[in-house]
Amino acid sequence: MSGAADVAYALSFADADRNRLRVTARAEQGCGTWWMATWIQGSYLIREYARNVESVSARGSDGPLGVRKVAKDAWVVMCEGTGAGQPVELTYTVAAHELTVRTSYVDDAGAVLNPPSWAIVPENAEGPLTVALTDAPWPSVHTPLPERDGAFVATDVDALMDAPMLLGTTSVHRFSVDGVPHTIATLDEQALWTHPRIAEDVQAIVEAQRDLWGPLPYESYQVLNALGARGGLEHDDSTLLLADPFAARMDADGEPMDADAYRGWLSVVSHEVFHAWNVRRMRPAGLVPSDHRHEQYTPDLWVAEGLTSYYDNLLLARAHRINEEQLLAAISKEIKAVVETPGRKVQPLSQASLDTWIEFYRHDEHSKNQGVSYYRKGALVGLILDAEIRRVTRNKRSLDDAMRLAWARFRNDPAGYSPEGFRAVLSEVAGVDLQPLVHRLVDTTDELPLDDALAYFGLMLSPVDVEGLPPFHGAELAPEGGLLRVDTVARDTPAWVAGVMPGDELVAVDRWRLHGPERLDALPVGPHTWTLARRGRLLDVLVTTRPATPEPWEVAVDPEASLTAQRMRRDWLGER
């Protein structure tokens, strides 16, 4: 362990096969309070990491010291009568059994470690903090932290919290952009992620980001890729991803065997690399300085996440990793998700951002009725703002210019940007006051003016084909052991009006016993008696179905678009 460190952690994997991580933390001044993070930056939910910690004990220069738990996430090391300035060694065990991009997971094959979920930190820690691995049985370790004297070094607590670690048998790709080294490391015992195309595609994505923003903001970058359910989390100099294990298998021609899964992974990579600028280094005021223990509030996650979502696929198109058709399909998907969310008429975007702590990561049967995603609606706001800036400047400027000006103005600003500050940048680039438009898009529940934005690019919303769609009732039904359970009921639909509720069991329609949705879907449009079981009692409600008339959500090229509009679209796609 490095003697110069303010805090030196040593991680032991002796209990890895029981999903346990053993931690020793030696602090030069370790008497007093130690704390643990409750959440991880970028994923806005109190996750209570201390719930996975057990058997905390301490030793001082002269032997064992008392440890008192004083809060859910805090401990006090008691040094009364033994010298307050002495070094303290804290030892504890962390249950590391959750494989996600925001928790820690250890087994005998490898480990995915996120410091907020394992590090207990002395209150006075300033840094540097070091992490040594005492008995890791695996050949490789990947983390953005530099290694010195056998330990990984974080300059301060924020840097430690921002540094995931991947250990195990990895497939590794390396490339450089403008001389800046990039590494893609995948926990990959079966060697499924070895195709050179992976590096070529990620390099093209990084170059498209550089073309938008300007010089790369980091000195090196690591894509840490674990295999499991899909996910991603942004960091200053890295991203930790979870990917479908089979997403990167290529055929003999180097084409992905599961093109959707592979493009999905590239899209997440694009999203997280964009965050290296937007949110990691250009931060909303509410997120600075970092508070790892308490909620931090900003109304601007539509900028941090929404605009990032707007650009993730657009930059894939500019990098020629997806074609125009695939980009339009991705935008259609965002529109579909928003128009099928009745909560868009209840919750403005800026409020969705504040409510993320209680809503976004806690989806339940009411979520769609009361809230809207700042990712999806935020991405559409990006499209609208982009079209509007291009329109009012006669295509001399775009949202790209606004992102660059915001970057020039707010990068590494210790105060972050205010909602007004970011909006002022949009107006400044447009040369006209965009505040009323932004206010309408972000602070109200008005429907988004998508038609105008799409028309600017020679695109249109095409009507959805209703042929073959069953009559519409608005309840989402899930077959469950021969029964039909009501999962959700969309606001203001026939089922909602009739009083059908999530959790009801749909027993019969017009007295006919139901075991699946088929019989229900075969009935004609009009009033039908639904027999429900609710809290053990049967009741009848009258649901008057109507013809299926979904709102248009599919984006198509307008065959009658002007040559100017077609040129705008090519320009938008970077095909100049």
**Binding region for Zn ion (CB under 5 A):** 305
Whichever of 44 and 152 has its CB closer to Zn ion, that residue is 44
Answer left, alpha or beta for residue 138, where phi above 0 means left and psi between -120 and 50 means alpha: beta
CB of 271 to Zn ion, least distance (A): 5
Shortest distance in whole angstroms from residue 134 CB to Zn ion? 34
Smallest distance from Zn ion to CB 60, Å: 43
In the numeric block, which tokens belong to residue 186?
A: 């995948």
Contacts 24+ apart (CB under 8 A), 188-192: 188/225, 188/227, 189/109, 189/110, 190/245, 192/227, 192/245, 192/246, 192/248, 192/249
Beta carbons of 530 and 511 less than 8 angstroms apart: no
DSSP, residue by residue, 82-141: S-TTS-EEEEEEEE-B--STTS-EEETTEEEE-GGGT-EEETT--S-EEEEESS--SSEE
Give the integer Cα–Cα distance in Å for 268 and 250.
Answer: 19
**Toward Zn ion, which CB reaches closer, 152 or 213?**
213
CB of 305 to Zn ion, least distance (A): 5
What whole-number distance in Å separates Cα of residue 331 and Cα of residue 324? 11
Do residues 349 and 439 lie in contact, with contact meaning Cβ atoms separated by under 8 Å?
Answer: no
Q: Which is nearer to Zn ion, 36 or 101 (CB)?
A: 101
**Cβ within 8 Å of residue 374, ≥6 positions away:** 301, 302, 305, 306, 349, 352, 353, 356, 360
Rounded Cα–Cα distance for residues 453 and 379 (Å): 13
In whole angstroms, how close is the CB of 309 to Zn ion at the nearest point? 7
> Which residue in the block uniquely carries the two structure tokens 């009725």?
369
Cβ distance to Zn ion smaller for residue 93 or 278: 278
Give the separation between CA 521 and CA 55, rounded to whole angstroms: 57
Question: Which residue sits closest to Zn ion, CB atoms considered?
Answer: 305
CB of residue 450 to Zn ion, shortest distance in Å: 22
Q: Give whichever of 228 and 231 is closer to Zn ion, judged by the CB atom.
A: 231
**What is the nearest approach in angstroms of Zn ion to the Cβ of residue 463?**
32
236 versus 305: smaller Cβ distance to Zn ion: 305
Q: Which is nearer to Zn ion, 73 or 305 (CB)?
A: 305
